[in-house]
Structure 1
Amino acid sequence: MTIELSKELRAEAVASIERYFREHMDEKIGNIAAGGLLGFFLEEIGPVVYNKAVADVQERLQLRVSEIDLEVHEDEFQYWRKYDRQAKAPKR
């Protein structure tokens, strides 16, 4: 699965890379080079981050699914138990 960014997000990411180079590196990076670097990161490293995020979501969903029975459990055959409790209760 290819990781695609919208035109707007891609422009923001390229601007961020340019700023990073301007503020933290000894050399400047141009718009085309920053776009190429972004493409490299998306293709080479993006899937690692994506797969980790998917695994984290799967883990959380599995935990939630395993707790569903606790949240929505209903005791069975309660009709007669309700009457039996009322009959055993002390009368006033």
Structure 2
Amino acid sequence: IIGIMLSYILLGNKGEKYVIVGILFSVGIHFLPFNSIYTIILSILVTLNAIYSFVKKDSSVYITLLIDALLKIVMGIALLFI
């Protein structure tokens, strides 16, 4: 909740894309406390996806959301078989 609020407060004046990517960044960070190598890998990948979207100004938020969803789905499916 704190990450979502900070994303809105700090990035709200830059546009909707930055708020959404800030929320995705917060979600990536929140996976770190779960003490599993799979959540750490997921956290790194989701966070890197958000950082890439922050750095690359002309990137589409839809592509960022699609990559984020695919990362989480693939990791979820992988965890079913481990």
TM-score w.r.t. the length of structure 1 is 0.30
Q: Normalising to structure 2: TM-score of the pair?
A: 0.32
